[in-house]
Amino acid sequence: MTMKHSFLFLFSILLIVLTSCSNKPARHLTDEPFRSVYHHSPSQNWMNDPNGMFYDDVTHLWHLYYQHNPFGTTWGPMHWAHAVSPDLIHWEQKGIAIAPDSIGTIFSGSAVIDRYSTAGFGENVVVAIYTQSEICGQHQSIAYSQDGGMTFTKYEGNPVLMGDIADFRDPKVFWDEQTNRWVMILACQQEVRFYSSVNLREWQYESSFGATYGGHGGVWECPDLIKMPLESEQMINGKMASELWVLLLNINPGGLFGGSATQYFVGEWDGTTFTCFDEPNETKWLDYGKDHYATVTWNNAPDHRIVAIGWMSNWQYANNLPTVAFRSQNTIARDLSLYKDDAGEWRVGVMPSPELLAIKGEQTKVLGDAAIIELELDGKQNAVITLSNEKGEKVVMSLDAHRQTFSMDRTASGDCSFSQDFAAHTTAPLFVHHDTHHITLFIDHCSIEAFGTDGEWAMTNLVFPSEPYNHIDVQGGKAAIYDINY
């Protein structure tokens, strides 16, 4: 260990101790009114970005790692914590997976299953690739697991890729069948860089993207490059294609409604370079709420599915949410696909994953604090849906048939006092005209997630009512309420 690394290690330990002493939450509180029923959240303390997700096709478990401060309920010394689920709903906490060391704290990253031991750690070993952040910069390191992702051993040669700029982070790695090598995509300030490797240990720069595309209101984070199949072969840019590539890119600040959000780009990947089909000044948003960030997909998802999850919060107020023993939760899992809108543009469809749709229980006339609501709204007239409680707190959702928009107003939803940025009115375009719009709402203790017809748009917003919404009023359509079969 060098003198510099010794200093950094001692500094990290001091930071952990100070954080632990100054921001230690109550450990035995049982009254957590905003603890979600069917969303993943840490058992206690702080959580942000989901990391390193992969599906194990031997144990049939979904692995979810996440940014975690084990010493307090606000952002602090970052670790990877770990949870597993057989169904994307019931999560078992597994504790800390990767902890800080002399190189730095453990920031966001990804994990892959190294089928053929390209890295030399053994066949079918899980390899995590993550950013380590220290005073002098950000670098990429790896660790490997020979027990299916339960425990990790850090590679002795870390870091495997040294940063040359500030904000050099959040590696997403995948195996590229076109070139038979690994590809890493990194967020580098306000663009992304692509690197390649044959062994996950030595990386070569390939190309960059984004300097003149998309939103640039803040730093780019948590990128993900995904191959998406088309329903049938189509003529695209003068040649037949059966797939396109989508680059997910999270930005903070600079979101459509302030703070953090997820944008995306549709194009093609030739093994070296990403070419975007969108106009440079066009920004496409994956979610039209305030609370959907750090969206990334699972590696090795079954049946060639593209399954994503996001952090359900916003950096404008994430540290101040009115929970007690824990802070933050993730969105429900979502399956992604491609569709064409009425203008002929490619867009990403966002559907609740089938596992989440399966929790829809019996139809009921009583609106509980956790429910699924299916709306049928007349596409030729305006519609208003109001969720409310006995305290007069309410969330108002509106479909504007003339403007072809769906909106959600949470300005009177409950507690908004913890941040001047929380009260908000968010709006999504209706990209496809329908005579009848079929909208699905997932309601949990502190969240509302809305999905448009066939997943053509999504909207995710937190709410903190003093008591559950127990009444729904629908004008311009009808609603069916289902309890949660958890």
Instruction: Please identify every residue annotated as catalytic.
Output: 49
Burial label, 341 (beta-carbon count in 10 A; 0-12, 13-18, 19+): middle
Give the separation between CA 359 and CA 483, rounded to whole angstroms: 8
- CA dist., res. 22 & res. 72, Å (int): 8
What DSSP state is assigned to residue 149? T
β-pairing, 181-188 vs 191-197, is antiparallel
∠ CA(52), CA(53), CA(59), 5° rounding?
Answer: 125
Contact of 308 with 336, CB cutoff 8 Å: yes
Between CA 463 and CA 120 the distance in angstroms is 48
Question: Cis link prior to 159 (omega < 30° from 0)?
Answer: yes
Angle at Cα 241 formed by Cα 240 and Cα 247, nearest 5°? 145
d(CA 149, CA 338) in angstroms, rounded, equals 31
Q: 82-106 in b/e burial notation, b at 16+ Cβ within 10 A?
A: bbbbebbbebeebeebbbbbbbbbb
Dist CA 378 CA 363 (whole Å): 22
- One-letter amino acid for residue 441 of the chain: L
Considering only the C-alpha atoms of the chain, give the largest distance between any 2 of them, rounded to a whole number of Å.
70
Query: CB–CB of 395/387 below 8 Å?
Result: yes
CA-based nearest residue to 66, from 270, 245, 269, 309: 309
- Which residue pairs, CB below 8 angstroms and at least 24 apart, start in 379-382? 379/433, 379/434, 379/435, 379/436, 379/437, 380/435, 381/476, 382/476
Which whole-number Å values give the CA distances from 115 to 62, 121, 142, 357, in the listed order? Answer: 18, 10, 16, 32
Q: Give the separation between CA 32 and CA 163, rounded to whole angstroms.
A: 41
Give the pair of three-digit tokens for residue 1.
């260990």
What is the residue type of 424?
Answer: A
The residues pairing with 144 across neighbouring beta strands, listed in sequence order, are 127, 153
**Separation of alpha carbons 282 and 286, rounded Å:** 13
